[in-house]
């Protein structure tokens, strides 16, 4: 973040793109994990689940940058891109929960 007490639009955009990219990668890995489970390749399934969790951790860390900045009193201008990033993250977290339960059936 910049030295000033206001997060720049460019900084917010970059953080939002980080969240979108990491969440998108996690989503792809989660869906591929289900395919691997269907094919009874549980070892590869578990690798993909682990990779997806790391992607979600990275997305969460990016999200935390925004939360911390706002908690410090920095002006966070929430635009459509930020909302889109948050939507990506939350739907992927939900997908992770659902797929976790689904994979219990395959195990």
Q: Is 47:79 a contact under the CB 8 Å cutoff?
A: no
Does the annotation count 84 as an active-site position?
yes
Measured from the Cβ of residue 13, the count of other Cβ atoms closer than 10 Å reads 14
Which residue in 53, 60, 65, 84 is the catalytic one? 84
Per-residue H/E/C for the chain: CCCCCECCHHHHHHHHHHHHHHHHHHHHHHHHHHHHHHCCCHHHHHHHHHHHHHHHHHHHHHHHHHHHHHHCCCECCCCHHHHHHHHHHHHHHHHHHHHHHHHHHHC
Q: Which residues are catalytic?
A: 84
């Amino acid at each position: 973040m910049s030295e000033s007490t206001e997060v720049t639009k460019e900084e917010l955009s970059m953080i939002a793109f980080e969240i979108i990219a990491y969440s998108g990668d996690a989503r792809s890995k989660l869906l591929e994990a289900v395919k691997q489970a269907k094919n009874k390749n549980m070892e590869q399934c578990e690798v993909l689940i682990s990779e997806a969790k790391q992607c979600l951790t990275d997305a969460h860390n990016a999200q935390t940058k925004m939360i911390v900045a706002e908690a410090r009193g920095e002006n966070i201008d929430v635009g459509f891109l930020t909302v889109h990033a948050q939507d990506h993250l939350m739907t992927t977290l939900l997908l992770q929960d659902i797929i976790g339960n689904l994979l219990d059936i395959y195990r």
